[in-house]
Structure 1
Amino acid sequence: MGGVADGHAEMGDVSDYELSHHVREALKSVLLGDTDEYDQIIGNMHHNVRLVPDEVAMLVTILRALAGAVSYIDVVHHRSLLSSICGMSFWNYGPDVMDALVELVVALASSSGKYVDLCLDMLVSNFIPPYNFLEILKQPRGLAKKDQVLTRVHSALKGIADLVPLAPSRLEQIVRERVPNVFSKEAQMVVYVENMLMLESGDMGELVGNAMLFELVNRLIDLDVEIGWDEILLDDPSKGIFEMELEDMARPVDETEIEMDEPQREYSGRKVLWGNVVAQKLDTLMVLTFDHLQSCFKNGRLVQVFEVLLQSFQSTVLNAYKSKFAQFVMFYACSLDPEDCGTLFVSRLVEIFKSTIYPQDWRMSAVAYLASYLSRAKFLSASYVTIVLESMVDWCSKYCENLSSGEINPKVHRVFYAGCQAIMYVLCFRMRSILAFPRLKSQLCNMPLERILKHALNPLEVCLPSIVEEFLSQAKAAGLFHVEGTFVFHDLLESELSRAFGGFERLDLFFPFDPYLLKKSDSFIRPNFIYWSMVRTTYDDEDDDDDEEGVSDDDEANDGVSNGRGPMSYEDDDDDDDFDMNLSKMSITPRNNTFMFGNQDNQRMRMPSRIRPSTSPESL
């Protein structure tokens, strides 16, 4: 063994059996106090820089010999050997050494339960390359190396899982513990998340896939909450949510705020999204997540993945304080499959909103998500939106009917007010499209909205004034709530009574699908998203001659086709290179106007002008 371990005897002089025998003897000698041969083995394992062919051959041979002698490795007496094995990085070696290392790690893990966590931890540590490899990953040779490493790491994980039944549950915990924190390098986070997604979609997906999705959402939330709204913009509390959606993007940038390239400074009023490192990391991870969902959709497994995401959403995202972007994972999945994923999402939100088994904050958050989704999802038909609205109105109506008389305390009825506000918010976006179809118009007019709004609970005096004002303006223009030609809420609209009462008990619910502000991942969201500037309101009288003709019930069946060409749909600006210009306007101006389209240049001044930062139900 001495000649072999010294390194440079001819390998043909020693058979595999002889080498395994010598390794076993070296391991046993340690128990007797003789460590010479043992130390030579460890010394060879520490060579990892610019190995010559003979050194590579020696290392491969030693690793394979150790794989055949794992039953002789003792957790107490061979700590330095175990430490050497765990300290070996796949990234430092070529394919032959990596293959031998995989063989050794799998053999060691399966030899005793004592080594399972040790081996799994060693493999997971190889999810992230050494620091000096991070820049190389941007080059073709770096990508090739990454593929070589990760293929073998995941092969080893699968081999251990096949041999050790408890390994997958241990792997889940180790992956969670080793996730890079928000202050890690972006390249490290990206490669780690890629590995998590490889586990989710690979051979071990059935065993650990759910846990990987849950952990991914947790990481997105961790990054998301690090980005404070106060860093993005300062709000004028006197302005409503509609008139704030675009205004901020026109705000000139103070050159002292942030150092950035000149082209960026031209159109970025939101310094955090271009200058905040955490936002850039989140943006990159959102791209990875969206790509993964797209792959799942193509492979016919999106619904399976979405069911897990929905559980994660309910337990993590639903009440995350001021979450701004992580929730768009749900939005994008729904856009890929509105019929299945979208229906699951809406059903869960409606169920949470209506059920008293959930805390009030959960129910208020759920109906805010529901309203924001129905309002912003371009792929939803007017008929579907009307069905969900009818369900929301029905709940609010029954709530009023079952209310016992007594003093009205708005705080006690927060869920009811949240529901009313959600209904009005959706109608601000969708009223004109619903009224364009005779059957849907009849459905809307037959809903007991007026009875709810005139109830003693006075929702118009409690909900956000900007939503109340916009809703009443559109309702008045549409001819709703008229008695003998007089608008029944005329005095409220003209006197701005809700603005005064709104200041007394504001219902500052968030609308979580506000315009998306991450640059790289925006391309996934933008084609499926409705900006307020795209909405034709009922008081916008442009093209009224066309609208007066109405839409037939036959047309209604195609009012929300996913290709963006139905009467209910919104057409995109096809020039994706205009992203920066679109951001500066926070809108996409459609070329061909249909029922809800208007010429942006001719939009009324009451249209939104700046996004309002989402606020949590905790503000109540």
Structure 2
Amino acid sequence: MSKTGILKTAGGASKPSNKVQFRIPIGLKSTLSDYVKGQDKRLYEETVSLLRDYDVVDDDLLQLLKEVRSVVSILDRRVKFFVHVFLLIPWAHRSGPVVEEYQKFLLDILTAHNYYIDISFEILVKTFRTVDPSASEDDPVPTAHERNVSTNVHKVLRDILRVIPLSSEILVEQCKTQYPYVRRPAREQELYLGNILTIMRYQPSLQLELLGIVISKMILLDVNSPFDEIETMEEEEDEKDVSSTAVDDLDATSTVTSLMGGPLIRRIGGTGMRHPLANTLDRKIVRFLAYTNSVCLKNRPAEEKEEIKRYYVESLEELQPAFLVDPEEMADSNQALTQSEDKVVDWVRCKCLYDDLKDVFSRLVLPTHGSHHVQFLMFYFAAGGIQDSKNQQWVKLASSYVSLLWEKASSPNSAPVERVAALNYLASFLARSKLLPISILKTSLTEMCHWIHSYIGRQEYTESGALTRECENRNHSVFNSACHALFYIIAFRHMFLSKTTQDIQFLQSLNLSRIVTAALNPLKTCPSNIAKRFSSVVASLQLAYCATVMEANARETIPIESNSTTLSTLPVLSSCFPFDRYALTRSDCFISPLFLQYQGSEEKESPDDECASEDEDGDHFLDESPYHVPRRVRDVSMSEVYGTSPGLMDLT
């Protein structure tokens, strides 16, 4: 009698798998019962080992699930090791009957033994990071495999939250704990973000907490992607791309890779980023802004399709196909954003999302130093990124954002550093928001000037009646920042504020001359570029004359005494306007149509204004600025993109 090897069939052919076949445990109910009673631990341990060490095919898993569901009542803490191992079996990618049976099992066990919720949510949320092994880094998110997995997981999560509402706190905590590290691949982070946004669809009560998690992780990417690093890497790639063309007899891909010292991030349509963290942030911002449009727009698919789509991660094409065009074409025509006739906004949902985002902005973004791009999520909402052709409801969002910033800036209960940051945000938004109504701009300038004049009136005399010493200016950082914000807005927006006689009369009512000549001397601590351009504008409009004050400030070299009895000079305050620049290439198509470029004055400067820069409207000024736009990021001249913004810092 011939003997057949354990890996041979009767016909002599080898089995395709090199793993030992999984044996379904027999009498699972009796095995668990005996273990609970302390009668037979060996069979229980063998069963756990089989589940842990071997792959289970769909048919075997389906049979196991049915048997385990029949003994849910005894799956208490005494057999928690068995339950943990069973929960770890991959299931979301399997056939429909297995997925359906597993979802029923999960609901049964969590309903009967709610202390398994933590481990269950940990395993479920971890699947949000599961990337399709056959997908490359640049393939669209999600693939069919990733979508199938996310759909199955979200359906069971929705059912658990409906049956056990208090489990939502555990879910939020797991979403925070399982969030990928900032240096993980961009695809993994984008897929995870898409799943978090999907939870917000069917569980709106968690929207605020999940937004906080998402924005905080974006901030980590943002502060670690400074403009100078992005610029350096983009310019290095430009140079080395040119060098690679001179190398012969080498494969093009391997040549570029060797020159860069590592694999390149392939640019889809030339819109990718060389900087790895900036590239990840760019993809996540596109995903987030596309999601906001999908949520806020009413012209989505039919209701029966919408019910299905709520539980899987949508591709960008499904979220908002109108934005998947060339960024420069999008920037040239605002029609895709503002003029679509069939765009109807669900303002109730939009306002809810905006309010939560505004709360997150106040808590996380506003106090953060060194944030470059995340704040543009708020800019997109407040500047008119979500609007339709039938009404101007978005103006209320803009007004609400301006009010928030001014309340922060004018509140004496807020920390000075937070008030200064709010003033910088306010000035930058009022200057850069392209569609902002002039009425909001004038109202903000009026409130700002009223506060400045009141401050000057209170500080004009000390208790002894003497004028306030100039060395005390260092204690008036909020006042100086408010003045700098005012100077910046007027220098930037003077073309819009001086079109008619009524506009000139409005500017005259601001009494800028008193601010310029105040004893606190805000021009002395103002960055030179802002001061020069403001001086030129107000002189040409005959609103105030700053030349004398600026000349006196330039001659002022007398040191002042500090608390440490050493001699020092009054420092020039560094003003950072957060919306002065956007360097991410993919998501730029959302921002460009809303972003106002600086427009210089058409009038000739006064020859008596010696403090004004002779070439202030030229490219030389930008070349000296540390904030100029890298050539690779925007393939246009810098004067065409940002003009000569008075907010740019001067190195001289």
The two structures have a TM-score, normalised by structure 1, of 0.74
The aligned counterpart of 2:577 is: 511
Residue 93 of structure 1, CA deviation: 2.5
More deviation, 328-337/492-501? 492-501
1:67 to 66, 69, 72: 69
Task: Say whether residues 1:428 and 2:480 are aligned partners.
Answer: no
- The answer on whether the counterparts of 1:249 and 1:583 sit within 8 Å (CA) in structure 2 is no
Task: Say whether residues 1:339 and 2:339 are aligned partners.
Answer: no
Task: Say whether residues 1:116 and 2:117 are aligned partners.
Answer: yes
| Cα 1:213–1:613 shift into 2, 3 Å | farther
Long gaps (5+) in structure 2: 1-23, 245-255, 299-345, 387-393, 463-467, 559-567, 606-630
The aligned counterpart of 1:218 is: 216
More deviation, 472-481/177-186? 472-481
Task: Say whether residues 1:102 and 2:168 are aligned partners.
Answer: no
Task: Say whether residues 1:279 and 2:278 are aligned partners.
Answer: yes
Report the Cα distance in structure 1 between the residues aligned to 2:193 and 2:124, rounded to whole angstroms.
Answer: 15
Query: 1:390-417: CA deviations, max 9, x gaps?
Result: 1111110111111142323122110000
Q: Which amino acid is 2:193 matched to?
A: V
Report the Cα distance in structure 2 between the residues aligned to 1:188 and 1:69, rounded to whole angstroms.
Answer: 37
Query: 1:75-110: CA deviations, max 9, x gaps?
Result: 23341x223223223355233322222222222222
| Cα 1:277–1:136 shift into 2, 3 Å | closer
| Cα 1:170–1:613 shift into 2, 3 Å | farther
Report the Cα distance in structure 2 between the residues aligned to 1:366 and 1:411, rounded to whole angstroms.
Answer: 19
Number of residue equivalences:
508
Report the Cα distance in structure 2 between the residues aligned to 1:522 and 1:86, rounded to whole angstroms.
Answer: 43
The aligned counterpart of 1:209 is: 207
Report the Cα distance in structure 2 between the residues aligned to 1:21 and 1:253, rounded to whole angstroms.
Answer: 65
- The answer on whether the counterparts of 2:512 and 2:543 sit within 8 Å (CA) in structure 1 is no
- The answer on whether the counterparts of 2:193 and 2:284 sit within 8 Å (CA) in structure 1 is yes
Report the Cα distance in structure 2 between the residues aligned to 1:171 and 1:293, rounded to whole angstroms.
Answer: 22
Report the Cα distance in structure 1 between the residues aligned to 2:102 and 2:637, rounded to whole angstroms.
Answer: 55
The two structures have a TM-score, normalised by structure 2, of 0.71
The aligned counterpart of 1:324 is: 372
Report the Cα distance in structure 2 between the residues aligned to 1:137 and 1:36, rounded to whole angstroms.
Answer: 49
| Cα 1:457–1:495 shift into 2, 3 Å | closer
Residue 40 of structure 1, CA deviation: 6.9
Identity value in percent: 22
Q: What SS does structure 2 have at the residue aligned with 1:126?
A: helix
Residue 45 of structure 1, CA deviation: 4.6
Residue 228 of structure 1, CA deviation: 3.1
Query: 1:281-338: CA deviations, max 9, x gaps?
Result: 0010010111122223214212111111111111111121211011011011112254
Task: Say whether residues 1:28 and 2:33 are aligned partners.
Answer: yes
What is the root-mean-square deviation in Å for CA atoms of aligned residues? 3.7
Residue 539 of structure 1, CA deviation: 3.2
| Cα 1:95–1:45 shift into 2, 3 Å | farther
Residue 146 of structure 1, CA deviation: 1.9
1:124-523 aligned at under 5 Å gives the runs: 124-129=125-130, 132=133, 134-135=135-136, 138=139, 143-202=143-202, 204-206=203-205, 208-232=206-230, 255=240, 274-299=273-298, 300=346, 301-334=349-382, 335-337=384-386, 338-403=394-459, 404-405=461-462, 406-408=468-470, 409-481=472-544, 488-492=545-549, 497=554, 504-523=570-589
2:603 to 516, 530, 539: 539
- The answer on whether the counterparts of 1:41 and 1:62 sit within 8 Å (CA) in structure 2 is no
Q: What SS does structure 1 have at the residue aligned with 2:395?
A: helix
The aligned counterpart of 2:637 is: 585
Residue 490 of structure 1, CA deviation: 3.4
- The answer on whether the counterparts of 2:529 and 2:648 sit within 8 Å (CA) in structure 1 is no
Residue 536 of structure 1, CA deviation: 3.6
More deviation, 412-421/491-500? 491-500
Report the Cα distance in structure 2 between the residues aligned to 1:38 and 1:588, rounded to whole angstroms.
Answer: 73
- The answer on whether the counterparts of 1:374 and 1:385 sit within 8 Å (CA) in structure 2 is yes
The aligned counterpart of 1:572 is: none
| Cα 1:499–1:68 shift into 2, 3 Å | farther
More deviation, 375-384/250-259? 250-259
Report the Cα distance in structure 2 between the residues aligned to 1:115 and 1:394, rounded to whole angstroms.
Answer: 60
- The answer on whether the counterparts of 2:491 and 2:646 sit within 8 Å (CA) in structure 1 is no
- The answer on whether the counterparts of 1:293 and 1:333 sit within 8 Å (CA) in structure 2 is no
Q: Which amino acid is 1:320 matched to?
A: T
Long gaps (5+) in structure 1: 1-18, 235-247, 482-487, 542-578, 590-599, 615-620
